[in-house]
Structure 1
Amino acid sequence: MTLDRLRHYTGLESPTGDGKALAALAEVLEADAAAAGFATTREGDHLLWTLPARGVTGGELLLLSHYDTVWPVGTLAGMPFTVEGDTVRGPGVYDTKAGLVALLAAATRLHDRGQDRPEVRVIVVADEEIGSPTAGDLVRAEAARATAVLGLEPPHPGGDLKTGRRGSTRARITVTGIEAHAALDPGAGVNAIDELVDQLVRVRGLVEGRPVLLNAGTITGGGRTNVVAGHAHADLGLRFVSLDDERAVLGGLDGLSPVRERAALETTLLAHRPTWREDEPTTDLLARIVRVAAGIGQQLGGRPADGAADTNTTGAMGRPTVDGLAPPGGGAHARHEWVSAQGIADRTDLLAALMTGLAA
């Protein structure tokens, strides 16, 4: 049943930003969530599900997942859904459609058995793979009312959970210059590409000596070699382990000014996930999860992770947060992406136990 469901979800390819493809999968997910006992609604393209409390007062849980993937429509043709022993392959199976399968199987179990549980809220984000630029307010609002937040992103290799994440920011530097003939009247122009190159050198200086990852992922500008470039921009990816470094670097980006007198410069944050440092609320929640897991014969640990997700937002708010509760596997964003079939069953058992046991 679970593998059939995963096959179905994988067959509905759902790249970020493809409204038609996302809508097709969202319709199926909402129907399956309703069958599992959830009340379903939407906030824009994001899915919001509520499993009503039964026999338990307080202790509301918030679960975070997403239904977009990095894979464009058509990927299945060269990367089909396959099952070989315990290994299940296909675009998005590990990140993170298997997590949705495990969650819905766990909720169905509770619903069918009439088990007591606190209210469980689930946000299934539509644009997580590009930094959740439209989901931040929803995540913050729901986290503010939750006593614990569980992330359904993939775990560490081997299955351990995630108790902190690097801050992650996508920023764009846009330069507007002045076009002119590059040979007949170059002094009348202002080269936006030259200005952008100088600004990127400045940005390198901002991160120098800090444990900050900086990647210039996209540079675009100009048009013809005989025309002084009038426009250019660069998209940057930044990763932080320290809130102090995050504030310093982002403040430096905001304070950039043109090198050339007639150039115009704008810095925009395309997406921002704050640094989530492991803290006492998180370690306490991890200890409770470890105890619940031990009660069903599972051994778990936890440690911080380098990647970012929506749990950055909730962890940075100080809400008790643990991530990595999707099934184990490997190859996120890679052609060899895979998930463990047994891991789906084990995570289903764990999620069902957590939804009933964390409030105890």
Structure 2
Amino acid sequence: MSQSIEARILNWLESQQGAMIDLVRDVVNIDSGSYDKRGVDDVAEVFERFLSNHDIEAWREANDVYGDALHARVGQQGANEKAALLMGHRDTVFPKEEARRRPFRIDGDRAYGPGVSDMKSGIVMNLFVAAAFKKFGGAPCPIRLLITSDEEIASPSSRPLIEREARNARAVYNSEPGRPGGNVNTGRKGCVFMRFEIFGKAAHSGGNFTSGASAIGELAHKVTAIHALTDLDKGITLNVGLVSGGQSVNTTAPYADGQIDLRYIDPADRDDTLAAIERIMGSATVPGTTARLDLKGEILPLVQTPGSKVLFEAYQQAAFDVGLVGLTGEFSGGCADSGFAASVGTPTICAVGPVGGNNHTPDEYMEINTLVPRAQALALAILRTPQ
């Protein structure tokens, strides 16, 4: 008696762990910081070769500033038919030469290297799932892949592509790393990145002190006021993570700037907090100073809708059926592109990639033994995609 499509797909994925690790190694050893277009596109070339070798249709959507978006599909999509969309980003937070300084390595059951968890292994998993459906068929709907290039800087070029592709999808699986305990994300905070500038007046700090207006002094007042907007009960956090300014130690500072990270759960809190920050910028504690605020980037929250809950429950059952017992949904203060997909109303779950942790640090790791079962869970979830 011949095997079912489900069994053939799961068995083939079971046999691919070595090949998966090899592909993860290849792309981890390429620098691909968000602003390194050449490096990000070099990673895309590696993925393109894999797709070509598996006879999967793929194409790029070019960008002059950031890395190109890479698309792929298995199965033809009819005019009124919606696909399952598998997403991932191939950019990292690390500088040039990071891959040379600490290349891919395996220590016990964990793999290490820049971007190994966040999220090159998740993209590799998506590619092997697509290859399994290309090889054996059986998908109840077309499968689309979207591999983006700038998530770590709030997706300035990719957001409209994500929203467009999500509108044409019946379900979105974002393969950010699985939580350290093995869970997935059913909710995430939204985030807004801002930069503020303060303009003061230079003066000699000894001979002409009273003629100056210290931008750094004003910055200190504003940082305190911004941090005071944090409301942990509501899930609102404010962090001024970068500051700079000044001309010399014996000059009142004519200029200073800072960068703000706002995290929130309720979209109404986003608007209220931004309005409060605008008021802080519009007033001055140090006479003679002025300020300007610019929004640099934003990622929307992932909010679980009834459709997303159904999608998660189907994924949870698929995970159980391949041995991932006890997997549940978590809320995260981190932001991800899944928020953009969910914002257009498409059922979305996040962090379905291989399990990892310590992201954005030299200790970032991926649990090797989760590569295959997480791929199997995703494939089985696609086979059972809610209509």
TM-score, normalised to structure 2's length? 0.85
Q: Deviations over 1:171-203 (max 9, x none)?
A: 111112233333343444332112222222221
Alignment of 1:320-331 (within 5 A): 320-331=347-358
Q: 1:340 aligns with which of 363, 367, 383?
A: 367
1:39 equivalent to 2:62? Answer no
Q: 2:265 aligns with which of 208, 233, 241?
A: 241
1:28 equivalent to 2:46? Answer yes
Q: 1:258 aligns with which of 280, 283, 286?
A: 283
- Aligned equivalents of 1:134, 1:175: Cα separation in 2: 29
**CA offset at residue 85 of structure 1?**
4.1
Change (3 A) 1:356 1:40: farther
**CA offset at residue 13 of structure 1?**
2.0
- Aligned equivalents of 2:288, 2:46: Cα separation in 1: 53
Change (3 A) 1:274 1:254: farther
**Quick check: 2:34–2:92 contact (8 Å CA) kept in 1?**
yes
Aligned-partner residue type, residue 270 of structure 1: K
Change (3 A) 1:206 1:85: closer
1:48 equivalent to 2:75? Answer no
Change (3 A) 1:189 1:123: farther
Q: How many residues align?
A: 360
- Aligned equivalents of 1:281, 1:224: Cα separation in 2: 58
- Aligned equivalents of 1:358, 1:116: Cα separation in 2: 9
Aligned partner of residue 101 in structure 1, secondary structure: helix
**Quick check: 1:54–1:116 contact (8 Å CA) kept in 2?**
no
Aligned-partner residue type, residue 40 of structure 2: L
- Aligned equivalents of 1:161, 1:211: Cα separation in 2: 20
Aligned-partner residue type, residue 146 of structure 1: A
**Quick check: 2:167–2:345 contact (8 Å CA) kept in 1?**
no
Aligned-partner residue type, residue 31 of structure 1: R
1:352 equivalent to 2:379? Answer yes
**CA offset at residue 136 of structure 1?**
1.9
**CA offset at residue 357 of structure 1?**
2.8
**Quick check: 2:227–2:239 contact (8 Å CA) kept in 1?**
no
1:288 equivalent to 2:314? Answer yes
Alignment of 1:95-114 (within 5 A): 95-114=118-137
Q: Pick which of 271-280 and 317-326 moved more.
A: 271-280
- Aligned equivalents of 1:312, 1:89: Cα separation in 2: 27
Aligned partner of residue 157 in structure 2, secondary structure: coil
**CA offset at residue 52 of structure 1?**
4.0
- Aligned equivalents of 1:27, 1:199: Cα separation in 2: 46
1:61 equivalent to 2:84? Answer yes
Q: Pick which of 53-62 and 334-343 moved more.
A: 53-62
- Aligned equivalents of 2:23, 2:301: Cα separation in 1: 35
1:171 equivalent to 2:194? Answer yes
How much is the aligned-residue C-alpha RMSD, in angstroms?
Answer: 2.4
Task: Name stretches of at least 5 consecutive residues in structure 1 with no aligned partner.
Answer: none
**Quick check: 1:195–1:258 contact (8 Å CA) kept in 2?**
no
Q: Which residue of 2 aligns with 1:227?
A: 251
**Quick check: 2:154–2:298 contact (8 Å CA) kept in 1?**
yes
Q: Deviations over 1:273-302 (max 9, x none)?
A: 223333322211101212333444443321
Change (3 A) 1:182 1:2: same
Aligned-partner residue type, residue 31 of structure 2: E
Q: 1:305 aligns with which of 332, 343, 360?
A: 332
- Aligned equivalents of 1:112, 1:211: Cα separation in 2: 45
Percent identity over the alignment is 27
Aligned partner of residue 70 in structure 1, secondary structure: coil
Hey, which bits of structure 1, 4+ residues long, moved more than 6 A? none
Q: Pick which of 178-187 and 14-23 moved more.
A: 178-187
Aligned-partner residue type, residue 26 of structure 1: A
Aligned-partner residue type, residue 383 of structure 2: T
